[in-house]
Amino acid sequence: MDVHKIVIIGAGFAGLRTALELEKRCARMKSCEILLIDRRAEHLYTPLLYEVSSGELQASNRSCSGDLKSGVCVRFDAYVNIVKKKHIRFRRAEVTGIDREEQVVLLSGGERISYNDLVIAMGVEVATFGIPGVAEYALPMKTLSDAFAIRDRLHGFVQGYIDGKEKHLSIIVVGGGATGVEFAAESANFFARLASTGVLKSADYSVTLLEAAQNILPVFSESVRAVALHRLKELGVTIQVQTKLDEVKKGRVFVTGKLGMPSEYPSDVAVWTAGVKPMAAGKAWGLPTDERGSIQIERSFVVVGEKHIFALGDCVMFKHPKTKTPVPALAQVAVREAGVVAENIVRQLERKLPVTWSPPERWAVVVPMGGKYAIADFGKFHLSGTLGFFVRKIADLFYFLSILPPLEAWKFWRQGADVYAKND
Ligand SMILES: Cc1cc2nc3c(=O)[nH]c(=O)nc-3n(C[C@H](O)[C@H](O)[C@H](O)COP(=O)(O)OP(=O)(O)OC[C@H]3O[C@@H](n4cnc5c(N)ncnc54)[C@H](O)[C@@H]3O)c2cc1C
């Protein structure tokens, strides 16, 4: 019997869930093999990344082992043994190209892997918009190693302060979206804890959040924004809106503020959360992309002009059929899309018409804001403070339950919760 080979590029939220959804439908394909290829060794749970960037764990613990793995990443080698899915295999490798004629994926070592159906779920990369010094002197917040790099810098400065080599610590966070707000709140909370135990004087640190638009959290409602602003001020974060970053240099950032006034700020640690862009690979591999670089897809998630290549997650832009606005780049969106992709791969084999997706117009989002405080925005209403924090924790648990057996999910969630409670 011919085995139907499905190759998935990227084992993040979209790719991993597509594999799990395909596994559920394997009987309908008679015989199938699902190969997940990722250049990373682990599946990263980004919603808790901010906990790593201010975590009080061993500075040398950079790998995904030890305490830190407990909350944010699931190693693929361990995962295979835990979930024991018969048809799913993992391969750690960098995909460098695809040969659409031959239906082959090219790996960095020169190896060629054939497929019957290909799923592209490779996410996005950091965009600096050509602002001088961002790539050199600002730290992004996208991957596990980014979070460690930020954490190392924060701890390095605190150590320097304790040793008397540093007098003042200035943190600049660029970008007032959810990631920037989370990180600003978390780092301010981190310093407040140090101040409360006498390690640092309150006057000796500052956290400043810069946002080019009129407001922080621009896609959130006025009431959610008001709660967030209040919380940030309570934590001592200085917020500068309508402030455009012009340049980052070692130890300083240069901006244009309201009314076009240029100014500058000291910056011991500059964190860049203001932009991502689709992977350049989409275009380089000859796939149709829009002006931003997102892979163009039909409503069935098949790539425009292709029959056996599907794409989903952050690397595509799916416009809501009613509102015509793009669905947000969120993990929860990516996992919902995965079910449609898996179903359509199987339906194509069954010679049935594809299903199309009608996403909700609003998505519930939780923004953690330092310590046991979060804002859970459900659209019509929101919960903030400890209640919001519990919603975050429950959402985390539900995610782990969706990718791991119940007992393993519980253990994983508990370990993470215990480790990160030390941050609060
Ligand atoms: C700090 C932070 C916090 C966030 N918080 C939330 C939140 O609270 N809630 C929420 O819903 N969303 C959140 N998000 C957004 C969420 O992480 C993304 O929407 C989600 O990761 C998109 O899933 P994806 O599968 O498309 O991409 P990813 O999860 O990024 O997965 C892409 C995978 O592809 C792999 N890959 C890429 N190119 C190649 C290649 N050439 N070869 C091999 N492998 C490759 C990458 O290694 C990666 O594992 C957050 C994001 C960040 C950065």
Residue 185 covered by a domain: yes
In a shared domain, residues 158 and 267: yes
The residue to mutate among 8, 16, 36, 38, having the most atoms of ligand 1 within 8 angstroms of its beta carbon, is 38
What is the model's pLDDT at position 1?
Answer: 61
Cα dihedral 15/18/19/23 (nearest 10)? 180
Q: How far is the CA of 182 from the centre of ligand 1 (A)?
A: 17
- Ligand 1 atom at minimal distance to the Cα of residue 50: 1
Cβ-based burial of 252 (10 A; exposed 0-12, middle 13-18, buried ≥19): middle
Q: Is the dihedral of CA 227, 375, 253, 168 positive or negative?
A: positive
In this predicted structure, the answer to whether residue 417 has a pLDDT above a threshold of 90 is: no
Q: Which residues line ligand 1 (CB under 6 A)?
A: 9-15, 37-40, 46-47, 49, 94-95, 121-123, 141-142, 179, 279, 281, 313-315, 329-332, 334
Query: What is the atom index within ligand 1 of the atom nearest the CA of 43?
Result: 49
Q: What is the pLDDT of residue 82?
A: 84
Give the residue whose CA is nearest to atom 49 of ligand 1: 12
DSSP letters for 138-171: EEE-SSHHHHHHHHHHHHHHHHHHHTTS-S-EEE
Among residues 229, 255, 274, the one where a domain terminates is 274
The protein residue whose alpha carbon is closest to atom 30 in ligand 1 is: 123
The answer to whether residue 423 is domain-embedded is: no
> At which of 257, 274, 291 does a domain end?
274
Query: What letter represents residue 199's amino acid?
Result: V
Residue span of the structural domain in which 187 resides: 134-274
Ligand 1 centre to CA of 394 (Å) is 20
* Atom of ligand 1 lying closest to residue 10 CA: 34
8 A C-beta contact, residue 116 and residue 6: yes
**Rounded Cα–Cα distance for residues 53 and 144 (Å):** 9
pLDDT > 70? residue 61: no
Instruction: Report CA 422 to chain centroid distance, whole Å.
Output: 23
Are 103 and 79 within one domain? yes
- Is the sign of the CA dihedral 191, 372, 384, 53 positive or negative? positive
Question: Would residue 357 count as lying in a domain?
Answer: yes
- In the predicted structure, residue 112 carries a pLDDT above the cut 60: yes
User: CB neighbours (10 Å) of residue 286?
Assistant: 11
**CA 15 – ligand 1 centroid, Å:** 10
User: What is the 103 CA–ligand 1 centroid distance (Å)?
Assistant: 25
**Overall size of the chain counted in residues:** 424
Model confidence at 69, pLDDT cuts 50, 70, 90, reads low
pLDDT in tens, 216-227: 999 899 999 999
- Structural domain count of the chain: 2
Amino acid 63: pLDDT: 45
Residue type, 1: M
What pLDDT was estimated at residue 52? 87
Q: Summarize the chain as % helix, strand, coil (round to 5).
A: 40, 25, 35
> In this structure, which residue's CA is closest to atom 6 in ligand 1?
47
Q: Looking at the structure, tell me whether residues 9 and 112 fall in a common domain.
A: yes
Q: What number does the ligand 1 atom closest to the CA of 276 have?
A: 53
Closest to 243 measured CA to CA, from 229, 259, 232: 259
Is residue 166 one of the residues assigned to a domain?
A: yes
Sign of CA dihedral 270, 271, 272, 278: positive
**Alpha-carbon gap, residue 334 to 312, rounded angstroms:** 7
> Which amino acid is present at 141?
M
Q: Is the domain of 330 the same as that of 309?
A: yes
- To test the ligand 1 pocket, which listed residue (46, 94, 272) has its Cβ within 8 A of the most ligand atoms? 46
Distance from residue 330's CA to the centre of ligand 1 (Å): 8
Which backbone phi and psi does 359 adopt, to 5 degrees? Answer: -70, 160
Q: Closest by alpha carbon to 95, among 115, 77, 79? A: 115
Is the Cβ–Cβ distance between 45 and 73 less than 8 Å? Answer: yes
Task: Give nearest CA residue, ligand 1 atom 53.
Answer: 142
**Which of the two residues, 422 and 286, has the higher pLDDT score?**
286
Share of the chain above pLDDT 70, in %: 96
DSSP symbol at 288 = -
Q: Are residues 408 and 283 in the same domain?
A: yes
Beta bridge partners of 206: 170
11 and 106 share one domain? yes
Q: How far apart are CA 199 and CA 62, in angstroms?
A: 25
Task: Assess whether 148 and 68 both reside in one domain.
Answer: no
Q: Which atom of ligand 1 is least distant from the CA of 183?
A: 1
Residues 157 and 252 in one domain: yes
What pLDDT, in 10s, does the model give residues 152-205? 899 898 999 999 999 999 999 999 999 999 999 999 999 999 999 999 999 999
Would you say the C-alpha torsion 147, 151, 152, 154 has a positive or negative sign?
Answer: positive
Q: For residue 144, is pLDDT > 60? A: yes
- Span from the CA of 124 to the centroid of ligand 1 (angstroms): 7
Ligand 1 centroid from CA 278, angstroms: 11
Q: What is the pLDDT of residue 23?
A: 95
Q: Is residue 148 part of a domain?
A: yes
**In this structure, is residue 376 part of a structural domain?**
no
Cα of 143 vs centre of ligand 1, distance in Å, is 8
283 and 413 both lie in a single domain: yes
In a domain, 98, yes or no: yes
Q: In angstroms, rounded to a whole number, what is the distance separating the alpha carbons of residues 355 and 205?
A: 54
- Which of 240, 274, 308 is the last residue before a domain boundary? 274
CATH number of the domain residue 241 falls in: 3.50.50.60
Which ligand 1 atom is the nearest neighbour of the CA of 147? 1
Residues 318 and 246 in one domain: no
Q: Is residue 321 part of a domain?
A: yes
Is pLDDT above 70 for 59?
Answer: no
Confidence (pTM)? 0.95
Tokens of 200: 């640092």
Average pLDDT over residues 102-115: 97
Res 68 pLDDT > 90: no
Report the atom number in ligand 1 closest to the C-alpha of 315.
26
Per mean pLDDT, which range of 118-127, 206-215, 320-329, 408-417 is the poorest? 408-417
Instruction: Take residue 160 and report the two structure tokens written for it.
Output: 């320097």
Mean pLDDT over each residue of the chain, to the nearest integer: 93
Which tokens go with 329? Answer: 């780049």
Q: How far is the CA of 424 from the centre of ligand 1 (A)?
A: 25
* pLDDT at residue 269, as a whole number: 95
Average pLDDT in the 392-415 region? 93
Instruction: Report the nearest atom of ligand 1 relative to the CA of 368.
Output: 8
Q: Residues 158, 238: one domain?
A: yes
At 80 the pLDDT is 85
Is 416 a residue whose pLDDT tops 90?
Answer: no
Same domain, 282 and 405: yes
Ligand 1: residue whose CA is nearest its atom 52 = 46
